[in-house]
Structure 1
Amino acid sequence: MATAAADVPFPGWSTARIDDRIVNPYLYAEPAQLMADYAELRRRPGLSWMTPRGYRPFWAVTRHADIVAVSKANDRFINRLRTYLSPIEGEQWTLSVSGDTHLFRTLVDLDDPEHRKLRQVTNAWFQPGAVRQNLEGKIRAIARAHVALMQEKGAELDFVNEVALFYPLRVIMMILGVPPEDEPLMLKLTQELFGAIDPDVVARSRNITEAAGLWGGSGNPQVDLFKIAATFFDYFGKMLVDRRANPQDDVASVIANAEIDGAPIPEREALSYYVIIATAGHDTTSSSTAGGFCELACNPAEFRKVRDHPALIPLFVEESIRWTTPVKHFMRTASDDTQIAGTTVRAGEALALFYWSGNRDEHVFDAPMTFRADRDPNPHIAFGHGVHICLGMHLARLEMRILWEELLPRIERLELAGEPKLSIANFVSGLKTLPVRVAWR
């Protein structure tokens, strides 16, 4: 799955300097060089000032302890000015079409107190006790249905495109209140939002929606992010109106009817709330699920260890999340002059928190480049840290645990049936194909 950077053709992308490589989305699909670069940056004293071609400069935060320190100091390192790495051209385009630095105003784009108030609206829904009590039975039924579909496929299947994409999608859409017939549209929009540069991901999303009768035309047209945002807002705008008039037992109704400071949530924030739940709520879980299954297919001893000792499944879930780290980075901007790791960061300067690097930190994890299904302790930061820690992390863990409880006991042997491939993206990414061969019990 990995080749040296010099062996991979990256039209239009420089690989000569570490500053350019660390933002290069193609290297996230072939990460051997990227992992070497992360290690080099972790060895350097302090933070590293990066000036990649075509991007505004930033401080690279690559060590686990430094990522945690920045994340905990949310008053000194804010989100709203720059949330993720985007080329200057992309930032200018976003500003021109939205009048803002963001297309959406989600929880990850906002700071306290606005962030805290919005988060509280759905916080109770996503607490561990609530997800277990209210959702475990429903999720288990969905998991069993997907295991049955796997068994119907027989000995060989693409686990990403036939299982991992759809299982967490069905769960989060059930919670949000999106009907099953609209799930292909949600999948299409999410895949193109996070994988816009990857032609395989875009083509896959178009194929799925064409099969569902939701996409006209053929081929692989250029992804229009503004059109994606507009489609999301149009769809969820109708849902917002409906749930205010006809509330149901779903998260969409909670958001639609919530008040902040005595007034309804502003429309853009409400619609963005729907978007972040619909997109991040399934894409990241899909990536962690597929990544963990891939490692079991590559390591028969690890597979037997987890299958034969179900008590290890929660540890396996955590290691899968650490290993894949679906959200590769988030950005922060210093609100005042401050210091991190002995480096002076000036007000207005940006920092990129590279979570994948932090989850490979040799000072925190023993043999970090080795997948250990029973790794314990496992203080990974794939869900982030501090006030912006992932709202849906308990749901993601529950979904993965239940799937493995239902699936692994039914498998006698598991192996790769082809080459797994990662998507081309430097923000949210994971496996885009995972051919496996399964001997069923």
Structure 2
Amino acid sequence: MTLTELPPAVTVPDEIARQIVLPEGHRNDEAVFKAYQWMRENAPLAQVKVDGYDPLWLVVKHADIMEIERQPAVFNSGGGDTPGSHNPVLANQAGDEFTKSLTGGSLRVLETLTYLDPPEHNMVKDIATEWFRPASLKKWEERIRSLAREAIDSRLKPGVNDLDFVKDFALTYPLHVVMTLFGVPAEDEPRMMALTQEFFGTADPDTQRDDTAALSPAAAAQQWAATIQDFYTYFDALVEARRAEPLDDLATIIANARQADGDYFPKEVAYGWFIAIATAGHDTTSSTLSSCMEALAEHPDQLAAVQADLSQVPDLVNESLRWASPVKQFTRQASEDYVLRDQEIRAGDRLMLLYQSANRDADVFEAPDDFRFNRKPNKHIAFGYGPHMCIGQHLAKLELRIMLEELLPRIASLELTGERKVIQTNFVGGLKNRPMTLVLR
């Protein structure tokens, strides 16, 4: 089909576009999933214009996201460290302008995989690829299991436990695991937690920093930049410490990585790795664990089935990842004209890849709005796809599997109580509060 033969684009109602694009639209996840469904059924690929944002193609179908993600040369993530570069983390126009004012015109605010394209992406990814392979992670399995048991024993008691599962349990276990393997002292974990919540909660009033201009158009970018600087300050000392005295931890591998010429990578590369691990390395896992427990409370028959056969826990983990999809989106930019789903994408156009929507695509998943712990096949893309597929996916699955293997056999009953709340973000996040009564044997 030639460009002149392409069908006319479908107009997306403003309320649908705003529900998906704006952070405040995600306070109501039920409404967001309904908006995704409307898009999949009526405008599976459409460009929208929301006030304050660049025009965006909303990519809601599983196959389209995979087609985009497997072609980084056509749909780039960062576009280089130059003026006119693309921001893969969606910000409003005021936020992008604020970022460029700090960087001399570039939107590459972090030297991390998210902002890089091949071949530079491959070079930086190779610094720690081996550490994250399943075979390499086996050495940590018993340590992670002991941390899971410790989390259960220290935060839950036999009998009735009335708690906010997110705040009182789910947030702390993945953080402690990642920081332990990473090499960050336990006493610094509260600081890492606070910075992570500020990093991902830039649009949530509950996590706004005191040094950010409240409600200004550029507030999210200001908080993002300030939080990154705080991370830099902390991790600079960690880089120096591991170069002076290497240890058997991930921080040592990253801090001591060298380029082809034998020189260390710039410290900013280490900072980028450290920030990614210290934020996404635990926040996404805690979101998935919380969503899993909420779903099991809503489906006691499925809880009983897994308890009766713990060999099904890996399938439960996969369904929980599909169900939660804690990374809601990344954006890409077309480097050339391209026809996708009979729509004309122009060079320079931005595309918002909506992983949550893709993981509810009826073309791929039978009864996609049902939670099925033993779903097979389960071709979710909660970790993305292609070169940017999450490097930490095997660690996340390992943490979740071990925790569920340890926790589920102890549960006598599970009941949801109180009001659930979702973090206000269009980027990475999930449940903010999930009160429940957990009765342990």
Contact kept? 1:201, 1:423, Cα under 8 Å: no
Contact kept? 1:47, 1:60, Cα under 8 Å: yes
Contact kept? 2:420, 2:433, Cα under 8 Å: yes
Name 1:12's counterpart in structure 2. none
Q: Which of 105, 110, 113 is matched with 1:104 structurally? A: 110
Contact kept? 1:172, 1:277, Cα under 8 Å: yes
Q: Give the secondary-structure state (helix, strand or coil) at the position aligned to 1:305.
A: helix
Contact kept? 2:208, 2:223, Cα under 8 Å: no
State how 1:61-76 maps to structure 2 within 5 Å: 61-76=59-74
Contact kept? 1:121, 1:258, Cα under 8 Å: yes
Name 2:7's counterpart in structure 1. none
How many residues in Structure 1 have an aligned counterpart in Structure 2?
A: 411
Q: Give the secondary-structure state (helix, strand or coil) at the position aligned to 2:38.
A: helix
Name 2:99's counterpart in structure 1. 94
Instruction: Letter of the 1:190 partner, please give it.
Output: T
Name 1:31's counterpart in structure 2. 29
Instruction: Letter of the 1:54 partner, please give it.
Output: G
Contact kept? 1:201, 1:432, Cα under 8 Å: no
CA 1:260–1:44: 2 relative to 1, 3 Å: farther
Structure 1, unmatched stretches of 5+, are 1-14, 207-215, 217-221
Identity %: 40
C-alpha deviation, 1:235, in angstroms: 0.6
Matched, 1:430 2:430: yes
Name 1:5's counterpart in structure 2. none
State how 1:42-441 maps to structure 2 within 5 Å: 42-44=40-42, 47-80=45-78, 81-99=86-104, 100-132=106-138, 134-152=139-157, 154-201=160-207, 224-262=223-261, 263-441=263-441
- For 2:225 and 2:126, the matched residues in 1 are separated by 29
- For 1:329 and 1:92, the matched residues in 2 are separated by 21
Instruction: Letter of the 1:171 partner, please give it.
Output: V
Normalising to structure 1: TM-score of the pair? 0.90
- For 2:192 and 2:317, the matched residues in 1 are separated by 25
- 1:40-70 per-residue CA deviation (whole Å, 9 max, x = no partner) reads 2212466201111110011111100000010
CA 1:440–1:366: 2 relative to 1, 3 Å: same
Instruction: Letter of the 1:177 partner, please give it.
Output: G
- For 1:347 and 1:26, the matched residues in 2 are separated by 30
CA 1:201–1:316: 2 relative to 1, 3 Å: farther
Instruction: Letter of the 2:282 partner, please give it.
Output: H
C-alpha deviation, 1:158, in angstroms: 1.2
- For 1:360 and 1:387, the matched residues in 2 are separated by 23
Q: Which segment drifts farther, 143-152 or 167-176?
A: 143-152
Name 1:10's counterpart in structure 2. none
Q: 4+ runs of 1 displaced by more than 6 Å?
A: none
Contact kept? 1:143, 1:402, Cα under 8 Å: yes
Give me the CA root mean square deviation: 1.9
Contact kept? 1:46, 1:343, Cα under 8 Å: no
- For 1:360 and 1:348, the matched residues in 2 are separated by 28
- 1:404-429 per-residue CA deviation (whole Å, 9 max, x = no partner) reads 11101011111112222111100001
Instruction: Letter of the 2:157 partner, please give it.
Output: E
Instruction: Letter of the 1:107 partner, please give it.
Output: L
Q: Give the secondary-structure state (helix, strand or coil) at the position aligned to 1:413.
A: strand
Structure 2, unmatched stretches of 5+, are 1-12, 79-85, 212-218
- For 2:434 and 2:299, the matched residues in 1 are separated by 15
Contact kept? 1:42, 1:62, Cα under 8 Å: yes
Q: Give the secondary-structure state (helix, strand or coil) at the position aligned to 1:95.
A: helix
C-alpha deviation, 1:31, in angstroms: 2.0
C-alpha deviation, 1:142, in angstroms: 0.5
- For 2:231 and 2:43, the matched residues in 1 are separated by 44
- For 1:46 and 1:397, the matched residues in 2 are separated by 30
Name 1:3's counterpart in structure 2. none
Normalising to structure 2: TM-score of the pair? 0.90
C-alpha deviation, 1:350, in angstroms: 0.8
- 1:259-302 per-residue CA deviation (whole Å, 9 max, x = no partner) reads 12223111212211111111110000110011101111122112
Contact kept? 1:192, 1:202, Cα under 8 Å: yes
Instruction: Letter of the 1:22 partner, please give it.
Output: I
- 1:64-113 per-residue CA deviation (whole Å, 9 max, x = no partner) reads 00000100111111001120211101111111123320321210111111
Instruction: Letter of the 1:282 partner, please give it.
Output: H
Contact kept? 2:178, 2:282, Cα under 8 Å: yes
